[in-house]
């Protein structure tokens, strides 16, 4: 048998930089709304664990966008991870 050296060690890539504006849906699902208010019409729902980027704030509501998609809307801040 011929000796075959093991492959060279390649360190894992560094973790992505922490972005305080990236949160996740913390409830089983949340409803995105077209404006910042409970009376605003819903646009879609997101399931738990879905990452979202906070774009702006208005009272207890935040405007979010799902990274890499056109999905955006308003949701209560307490429905997302801290």
One digit per residue, the tens of pLDDT, for the chain of length 82 reads 799 988 899 999 888 788 899 999 999 999 999 999 999 999 999 999 999 999 999 999 999 999 999 999 999 999 999 8
Whole-number pLDDT of residue 16: 79
| Contacting residues for 26 by C-beta, under 8 A, at least 6 apart | 48, 79, 80, 81
List C-alpha distances in Å: 69 to 8, 10, 14, 25, 55: 38, 32, 25, 16, 14
User: What would you report as the CA-atom Rg of the chain, rounded to the nearest whole angstrom?
Assistant: 20
Please give the pLDDT value at position 55. 96
Q: What is the DSSP string of 7-20?
A: PPP-PPPPPPPP-T
pTM above 0.75, yes or no: yes
φ, ψ of residue 40 in degrees (nearest 5): -70, 145
pLDDT at residue 66 in the model: 96
């Amino acid at each position: 048998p011929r000796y075959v050296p093991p492959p060279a060690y390649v360190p894992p890539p560094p973790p992505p930089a922490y972005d305080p504006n990236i949160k996740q849906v913390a409830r089983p699902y949340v409803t995105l709304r077209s404006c910042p208010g409970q009376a605003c019409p819903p646009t879609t729902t997101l399931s738990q664990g879905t990452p979202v980027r906070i774009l702006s704030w208005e009272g207890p509501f935040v405007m979010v966008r799902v990274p890499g998609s056109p999905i955006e809307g308003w949701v209560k801040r307490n429905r997302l991870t801290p």
